[in-house]
Amino acid sequence: MSRVRLALVSPLLAVLTVSPTTPATGAAAADPTDGPLLYSVFGGVELAPLGGSPVTRVVTGLTPWVSEFSPDGGRVASLVVRCRVGESPCPDGQDYTTVVETAADGGSLEAAELPGRGTALSWNSAATEVAVLVERSLEDRSIWRVPLDGRPPVRLVQDTPTFEIDWSSDSVSWRPGGDQVAFVAASRTGPEDGWFSVDHQQLWTVSADGGSPVRYSARVDDRSDPRYAEFSSPEWSPDGTTLVAYVFTDDVDRGCRGAATCSTTVSVVRRGEKYGTPATTIPIAFTDGGYSQRSAARPVWSADGSRILFGVSDEEFVTQPRVVTVATGALQKGAAPHSYQQFDDWQPCPTGTCVQWGAPPQYSLAVGYRNRPRIAVDLTVTPAAVKKVAVTLHRQDSRGAWVQVKRVLARTTAGGTWSGTLPRVRPGICRLRFGGVGATQTKLFSC
């Protein structure tokens, strides 16, 4: 599967404001209980129904890497990639990922920082933590368990000389129930066993408490099995019993000379299966120079587990959303609102009614000195329903880089106000970052 993303160094992702959406005339009509599709696009975030329009721009001026709805559709977790030295492109070893949680009431928090570029995430079923796939280099990938209450992240699994988290599948999925995280990896059992063996791009799981990874898909024997298989983009079913994944199969000689020898399917895979059960097939594009797979964007289950949203890249490389009914194979075609981006998620509506998101809050802040040299901060939030606001103090060092001095979680009064003090710093240029996702502001001042 090809997953195209735009390189970025951005501040926080803005709040998602969900507006009622209806299918476009002539487009495939979505189930009335389905939420919109979530798109992270250059310069913002947009929501669109399966039919492709109307498109609602909910974020402007920012470019997130990837976002995902919580299991109830009432929160969004986002991966925001930044650079410690403020350069673009960011020098090796200087990029890091912030995990941001946004609630439907407009409140948001930065949950954690991880070294490297976060490329995929998945909520646990309790909506208290997320699993995050992080890449520091092509040879250094790891999966982390990130609490959303400020506790430090825990690394679950990482690359080793004989085990490599797959570079071509930016996907990780936390099993409902909380005990396993699924991902794609390659395993090399000996020096003669190259990465592109029958163990390339296979399904694995690791305990949510960490430990040794366990193979999920069964190994194909290239001496007795007629086909080998490669998996990408696994996603647990809502009941946690199976995975859906894109499955590419070919003759064991890997010629892929036509549809008779190779195929890509959206398949439901049970533990110990070599190929899974296809729900539908995605045509492969054959040219004089070879072939290309057209699966795109990670597959997403409907909340009741009866349908699967997936993406198909057309001749113009536009990702067209499709929904397949697992029991019957019936297809529902959607339309892409963009020519360059694929969807991130499909808002779940497990109760039959989708969570609606409020308008982004507004913030104002005053800085002064109280019992100098401590910095005094007075914050006002509108509406007052937002009860928690992150306030972070940075100081600029001699290289011009911003160094975090202190981060506090401001708990506002019934009137939406908060007053507090921050520690003294050496004289120079300081900044305060405050507010929620979608209303994050920066205030520079001499300190």
pLDDT in tens, 387-423: 778 788 888 888 888 888 988 888 888 888 888 888 8
Q: Work out the mean pLDDT of the chain and round it to a whole number.
A: 80
Q: What is the pLDDT of residue 185?
A: 93
Rg (CA), the chain: 23
Instruction: State the pLDDT confidence band at 71, using cuts at 50, 70 and 90.
Output: very high
What are the residue ranges spanned by the domains of the chain? 37-346, 362-446
pLDDT greater than 60 at residue 162 = yes
Q: What is the pLDDT of residue 143?
A: 96
Region of 294 (left: φ > 0; alpha: ψ -120 to 50; beta: rest) is: alpha
pLDDT single digits (tens) 97-149 = 988 887 776 666 777 889 999 999 999 999 999 999 999 987 889 999 999 88
Q: Domain 37-346, CATH 2.120.10.30 — does that match?
A: yes
Fold matches, 37-346 and 362-446: no
- List all residues 6 or more positions away from 398 whose beta carbon is below 8 Å from its beta carbon: none
pLDDT greater than 60 at residue 33 = no
Rounded CA gap, 258 and 22, in Å? 40
If we measure between CA atoms, which residue out of 161, 158, 134, 129 comes closest to residue 145? Answer: 129
- Global confidence as pTM: 0.75
Q: Domain 362-446, CATH 1.10.150.240 — does that match?
A: no
Q: What is the pLDDT of residue 438?
A: 44
Across the range 307-323, mean pLDDT stands at 88
Instruction: State the pLDDT confidence band at 168, using cuts at 50, 70 and 90.
Output: low
> Could you tell me what percent of the chain has a pLDDT over 90?
30
